[in-house]
Amino acid sequence: MMMEATRLKFVLNLAFLFCRMLRSLLSAQGVNPEKIIVFIDGYYEEPMDVVELFGLKGVQHTPISIKNARVSQHYKASLTATFNLHPDAKFTVVLEEDLDISVDFFSFLSQTIHLLEEDESLYCISAWNDQGYEHTAEDIALLYRVESMPGLGWVLKKSLYKDELEPKWPTPEKLWDWDMWVRMPEQRKGRECIIPDVSRSYHFGIVGLNMNGYFHEAYFKKHKLNTVPNVQLKNIDSLKKDAYEKEIHKLLSEAKVLDHTKNPCEDSFIPDTEGKIYLMYIRMDQEADFTTWTQLAKCLHIWDLDVRGNHKGMWRLFRKKNHLLVVGTPSSPYSIKKPASIIPIYIEPPPKEDVELN
């Protein structure tokens, strides 16, 4: 009896979260319910009942494999079926059941999706900024190029999936996370994703294969979600590869270099101003040297579990409503802007505690 009661509570919780996501999706401006397909991994009555309650199309399929591999196979089956059901579609938008989306989610995508057709150096468009927290995201019209694939509400190009990803998708016996696989250099091939400064999606789920309450509290709860409708995005075509480099060099030339003798983790490191552009240089001896960035991310209380959100060794975020550029030196090509008198900031990681084996 206890087992049944526990299962009932679990099912009801999932149904509540699923309803929340669908309400958010169907409340967004420009949504077309006829183009929404809900894929369910397994033959369960409850989620299909929710889908039918909202008048949407649901597709159930037989689960394959276990744990991470099961999730991966679910994604593959869903993506393949999507393009089979809509053979004329050039793109698909991927959303999970534990996401809220902003009121301008579809407007954001409609303004940017042409970039995927016009710029071969792009991998995806994502609604999620890994570093877009309440205290580090500010400009609802600003977009970035990043070398990571954020996911959490993203656009996948059909040709990318059919020609590259689908043929070599991890097989069922490989217990890999699908998103980590998609982010690997072998798949990304140097291409980048377009993201907003202020996210257009919000991850509210606290239960899942790779999620728990503590993890969500630490890394997801304080993410910022845009609430303003009809946002006109800035300089969209400047996101194209060559134009973006010109934009970055323009920002670097306008930025004021901060006082590198101060502690970047202290609030006083950034002046009490608003609307300014500031620049700091951190030590980054080679492309894969993220020692200082990781420690800086920790003290800024942003994503620090792996390296995300950078472009050619540079990160962009906001502090005190000022645009902050962080350049890894000497690895980043933007290091050429560094004044000779400036010594890049180095933050030493805490010593590892010796573990005694009994």
d(CA 87, CA 305): 38
Alpha-carbon torsion 40, 54, 212, 28, what sign? positive
CA angle 14, 196, 223 (to 5 degrees): 45
d(CA 334, CA 314): 8
Which of 177, 179, 285, 289 is an active site residue? 179
Tell me how far CA of residue 247 lies from CA of 206, 243, 289, 318, in angstroms.
38, 6, 25, 17
Q: Provide the phi-psi class of 65: left if phi over 0, else alpha when psi is between -120 and 50, else beta.
A: left
d(CA 298, CA 303): 7
d(CA 325, CA 29): 33
d(CA 219, CA 202): 12
Query: Is residue 338 within 8 Å of 329, Cβ to Cβ?
Result: yes
Query: Is residue 344 within 8 Å of 297, Cβ to Cβ?
Result: no
Amino acid of residue 195: I
Query: Is residue 178 within 8 Å of 71, Cβ to Cβ?
Result: yes
Written as six digits, the tokens of 280 are 């700091």
Indicate if 354 belongs to the active site. no
Query: Is residue 258 within 8 Å of 279, Cβ to Cβ?
Result: yes
**Catalytically annotated residues:** 179
